[in-house]
A and B are shown apart, each in its own frame.
Chain A
Amino acid sequence: MVSEADHKANDETETKNIPVIEIRNLNKSFGDNHVLRNFNADLYKGENLVVVGKSGSGKSVLIKCIIGLMKPDSGTIHMYGKNIPDLDETELDTIREKTGFLFQSNALYDSMTVRENLEFSLRRHQLKAETEKVNELVMEALTNVGLAETVDMMPAELSGGMKKRIALARTLILKPHIILYDEPTTGLDPITGKEISSLMLEVQKKYKTSSIIISHDMNCIKITSNRVVLLIDGRCYAEGTYEKLKKSNDVKVNLFFE
């Protein structure tokens, strides 16, 4: 397990200034509700960028636009050299193969065992017939999250924390370069939340991933973030490290970080 101190000490060396996601002038509205207004942000290689904001401020909409589940009204999202809103389904699939997404609700397939959940995306993208290799990768992903013994269990038999770990294993099995986490610790007790946050940090170190993390959980933000973006009224209101924003004199920033 990588300690928080080690993580912070390594910040400068790990975070290289190569943007892997560039978001420019992103707008998204639902009727009269303008969720994102000219939102701009960059995710740099190897960093964990945490997006903080009130409920309904458009954080989940933002990452759903990034992965192509929603189309923005205007603006660009450049990832792997391509503008996501311009891509068709086939091109999006290629992008998604290299991008993990951890859903807030875990989104494990209820009718499938843990093994089948992990195999599902693997068989779609790679290794269509190599059963032994698939088994090996499934067990490796489960071992990484410490839940190898759950391989033949159904999602309904798992606790909330276990489901989150399995969902993370499913995300990791394709060895993504970028991971998008949608409120990864919501609904978990503080101890399990801390364990999941540490696991996310471990994933960043082990697989050299770049991540966007949507969260309200200050413990999670403190443990995982290299940089934090505060989203207010659909715009990037403040940006900086956790420590910098915590020391800020701005009233709106303080409301979140007190």
Chain B
Amino acid sequence: MNYSIFPDQWKTFLNEAGAISRFTGRFFKIGFKPPYEFRELLKQCFYIGYKSLGLVGITAFIMGLVITIQSRPTLVEFGAEAWLPKMVSVSLVREIAPVITALICAGKIGSSIGAELGSMKVTEQIDAMEVSGTNPFKYLVVTRVMAATLMVPVLAVFADAVSLYGGFLGANIRGVVSWDLYWNQVFQTLVYSDILPSVFKTYFFGFAIGIIGCYKGYNSQKGTEGVGQSANSAVVISSLLVFIIDLIAVQVIDLLNFT
């Protein structure tokens, strides 16, 4: 095994991590100073939030349905079939719906931001914006990162609701659970400490997706090939960050006795 390759890989990793940190620092430095780009922020909220509803909804519905169908045989084995709504609701709301939503958003939003800003960079549109007296970082990056940070939690709450509905249908495929009984059990089981931390962590998911997509696109190089690479690496890095943030969030929630 050739160990000499490791130092260069580490160097690249550390350089990239440093550059992303500086980019994030720049976001906090200028992101909250006027003038604010409200119009562009609303436009991005529409693109990131509203236009992702369909995809997130379908995925969440299928996840709810599948998790319920898959969990049923095990619970039946232990004679705990009546616990199905409780178990499904906790696993969907606490973990599955937020993470699946974040991964869908990493794929859809991360790649679209990376490709859009990347193509703007290589076709000199970002330079043109700067020449026209607009701060491109504020207009393009701050608005997209804020929109992703605000919209991913909304999408996650939407995914919670749709996946629970999918769970209801899943519970009725092999058995019979009335609408009232299902939702009574769901709401008796779920408490604020299930919902709030899971929603709270989605703000971090959204921020990570937005900042990585923007960083990759904004620093795109090597023409059209670079645009593809930006979109691709935006998805890979932001998906990985979603899991890392999730792992940290679980530890923090556990430490704070939220569970």
Chain A contact residues, CB within 8 Å of chain B: 64, 67, 69, 89, 93, 96-97, 99, 101, 103-105, 107-111, 120-121, 124-125
Cβ B134 vs Cβ A124 within 8 A: yes
CB neighbours of A109 from chain B (8 A): 120, 125, 128-129
Interface string of B114-153 (1 = CB under 8 A from A): 0010011001110111111111000000000000000000
Residues 140-175 of B at the A interface (beta carbon under 8 Å): none
Query: Measured between C-beta atoms, what is the minimum distance from A157 to chain B in Å?
Result: 16
Cβ B124 vs Cβ A105 within 8 A: yes
- Chain B, Cβ-Cβ closest to A126: B133
Interface residue from B129, B131, B134 paired with A67 (Cβ < 8 Å): B131
Interface residue from B116, B120, B128, B135 paired with A101 (Cβ < 8 Å): B128
Taking residues whose C-beta sits less than 8 angstroms from the other chain, chain B's interface range is: 10 to 19
Cβ B133 vs Cβ A107 within 8 A: no
Query: Measured between C-beta atoms, what is the minimum distance from A85 to chain B in Å?
Result: 16
Cβ A110 vs Cβ B119 within 8 A: yes
Cβ A103 vs Cβ B124 within 8 A: yes
Cβ A107 vs Cβ B135 within 8 A: no
Cβ B133 vs Cβ A96 within 8 A: yes
Query: Measured between C-beta atoms, what is the minimum distance from B170 to chain A in Å?
Result: 41
Give the distance in Å from the alpha carbon of A121 to the alpha carbon of B132 in the complex. Answer: 5
- Chain A, Cβ-Cβ closest to B35: A124
Cβ A121 vs Cβ B119 within 8 A: no
Interface residue from A64, A97, A110, A124 paired with B125 (Cβ < 8 Å): A110
Query: Measured between C-beta atoms, what is the minimum distance from A131 to chain B in Å?
Result: 14
Query: Measured between C-beta atoms, what is the minimum distance from A107 to chain B in Å?
Result: 4
Report 17 cross-chain contacts, Cβ distance below 8 Å, ordered by A residue. Answer: A67-B131, A97-B133, A101-B131, A103-B127, A103-B128, A105-B124, A107-B123, A107-B128, A108-B125, A108-B128, A109-B120, A110-B125, A120-B129, A121-B133, A121-B134, A124-B134, A125-B132
Cβ A93 vs Cβ B133 within 8 A: yes
Cβ B131 vs Cβ A69 within 8 A: yes
A120/B131 contact (C-beta < 8 A), A103-B124, A105-B124 known: no
Cβ B133 vs Cβ A124 within 8 A: yes
CB neighbours of A67 from chain B (8 A): 131
Cβ A104 vs Cβ B124 within 8 A: yes
Cβ A96 vs Cβ B132 within 8 A: yes
CB neighbours of A89 from chain B (8 A): 135
CB neighbours of A124 from chain B (8 A): 132-134
Give the distance in Å from the alpha carbon of A104 to the alpha carbon of B128 in the complex. Answer: 11
Residues 90-122 of B at the A interface (beta carbon under 8 Å): 116, 119-120
Interface residue from A104, A108, A110, A125 paired with B133 (Cβ < 8 Å): A125
Query: Measured between C-beta atoms, what is the minimum distance from B198 to chain A in Å?
Result: 34
Cβ B134 vs Cβ A107 within 8 A: no
CB neighbours of B132 from chain A (8 A): 96, 120-121, 124-125
CB neighbours of B116 from chain A (8 A): 111
Query: Measured between C-beta atoms, what is the minimum distance from B65 to chain A in Å?
Result: 37
Query: Measured between C-beta atoms, what is the minimum distance from B16 to chain A in Å?
Result: 20
Give the distance in Å from the alpha carbon of A101 to the alpha carbon of B120 in the complex. Answer: 17
Give the distance in Å from the alpha carbon of A105 to the alpha carbon of B119 in the complex. Answer: 12
Question: Which of A67, A107, A124 counts the most chain B CB atoms within 10 A?
Answer: A107
Give the distance in Å from the alpha carbon of A107 to the alpha carbon of B120 in the complex. Answer: 8
Query: Measured between C-beta atoms, what is the minimum distance from A167 to chain B in Å?
Result: 9
CB neighbours of A104 from chain B (8 A): 124
CB neighbours of A64 from chain B (8 A): 127
Give the distance in Å from the alpha carbon of A49 to the alpha carbon of B23 in the complex. Answer: 38
